[in-house]
Structure 1
Amino acid sequence: MKRQRTVSNRRLSVGALVLVAALALAVKTHAQQAGQVEPKSAPGSVTEQHGGQHDFDFEIGAWKIHLRRMLHPLSGSSQWIEYDGTSVTRKLWNGRANIEEFETDGPAGHVEGLTLRLYNPESRQWSLYWANGRTGELSLPATTGEFKNGIGEFYDQEAFNGRQIFVRYQWSQITPNSAHFEQAFSEDGGKTWEVNWITDQTRAKE
């Protein structure tokens, strides 16, 4: 989902991201209106064997969000703040991509962001990109991983307070109407993890 990402020198504008996604959606809509159908996976193909392109289908739709965020990760502090808000996720490319808009408010202010998720059928993994509405920039590198036994784990390595750390995203407790997300940091090569962002979501009533 969306997190307090660390500083990176490689960034793209959110405007460019939304434009690319909008173009992709427009092309798909045009093809559907013209009576074109996306090709089905051939028997034995990577997509058919794994089905990973639908791992994030549970996220499609509108959600109510409760967020707990640690103010000062990896500092020895245990101060947390809480937010409430909403998110909306839209499917692209028949499930091989989606875009989520995220917005919450709490004592520390307003948190607004956007997540782009892309599925690679060759690696059978997802790449997750987070953009903070405050800066209007897309953070790189992507956080990459996959789902196994109902739990999704995604990792990357980033700079944080002048040091290289590991970052982990974890999706769990997934039902048709709820899901749980955690972000954690590790400064010892993955031996121990400190959770600093916890999101619980329930599906919004239509």
Structure 2
Amino acid sequence: MRRLAKPLSGSTQWLDYTGTTRIVPLLGGRANLAELAIAGPAGRIDGVALRLYDPATRRWRIHYANLRDGALTAALSGGFAQGRGEFFGDDSFDGRPIRVRFRIHCPQPERCLFEQAFSADGGKQWETNWLATDTRIGDGGA
């Protein structure tokens, strides 16, 4: 996983992390919980995402909390088309309003790519600030 050290500042310094994401399916696949535990030279990031599916709209909502402060971010909403997921939401960063875009693409069943970007101008320009590649290492079952 890589994250931009100082998003929306003009900085191009990236920080690298390694770790795990554990996915727990819930409610027959209409929800899941993703536990993130990663570390690198810049420290640890531990978080949890609750992803909820609305079958009436065929949309997902993603709720995330960094365990550093336990606060939930504003929900992202979106869906999947042709094997790619795209989710958007409004949030704030360093006290200013932003748009957030989160993309998921799984080119292989055991490998998924994640990208997060911020926009400070209502979505006209995007700055990618989070890149991750998740590779399945097992089910975790006995």
| CA deviation vs aligned residue, 1:161-198 (integer Å, no higher than 9, x gap) | 23211100000143211000000011122111110000
Corresponding position: 1:194 with 2:127: yes
Amino acid corresponding to residue 100 of structure 2 in structure 1:
V
Corresponding position: 1:119 with 2:60: no
Distance between the aligned counterparts of 1:147 and 1:85, measured in 2? 26
Residue in 1 aligned with 2:87?
154
Residue in 1 aligned with 2:109?
176
Which protein has the bigger strand share? Answer: 2
Rg (Cα) greater in structure: 1
SS of match in other structure, 1:115? strand
Structure 2 gap segments, 5+ residues each: none
Amino acid corresponding to residue 144 of structure 1 in structure 2:
S
Q: CA deviation at 1:199?
A: 0.5
Residue in 2 aligned with 1:109?
43
> Which of 69, 75, 79 matches 1:142?
75
Q: CA deviation at 1:205?
A: 4.1
Which deviates more, 124-133 or 154-163?
154-163
Aligned residues: 139
SS of match in other structure, 1:138? coil
Residue in 2 aligned with 1:203?
136
Give structure 1 regions of 4+ aligned residues with deviation exceeding 2 angstroms.
136-139
Structure 1 gap segments, 5+ residues each: 1-66
Distance 1:205 1:122, change over 3 A: closer
TM superposition score normalised by structure 1: 0.65
| CA deviation vs aligned residue, 1:28-77 (integer Å, no higher than 9, x gap) | xxxxxxxxxxxxxxxxxxxxxxxxxxxxxxxxxxxxxxx10001001000
TM superposition score normalised by structure 2: 0.93
Distance between the aligned counterparts of 2:58 and 2:106, measured in 1? 22
Name the structure, 1 or 2, with higher relative contact order (CA <8 Å, separation 6+): 1
| CA deviation vs aligned residue, 1:86-126 (integer Å, no higher than 9, x gap) | 11101111100000111011011011111100001112100
Which protein has the bigger helix share? Answer: 1
> Which of 64, 83, 97 matches 1:130?
64
Distance between the aligned counterparts of 1:127 and 1:174, measured in 2? 22
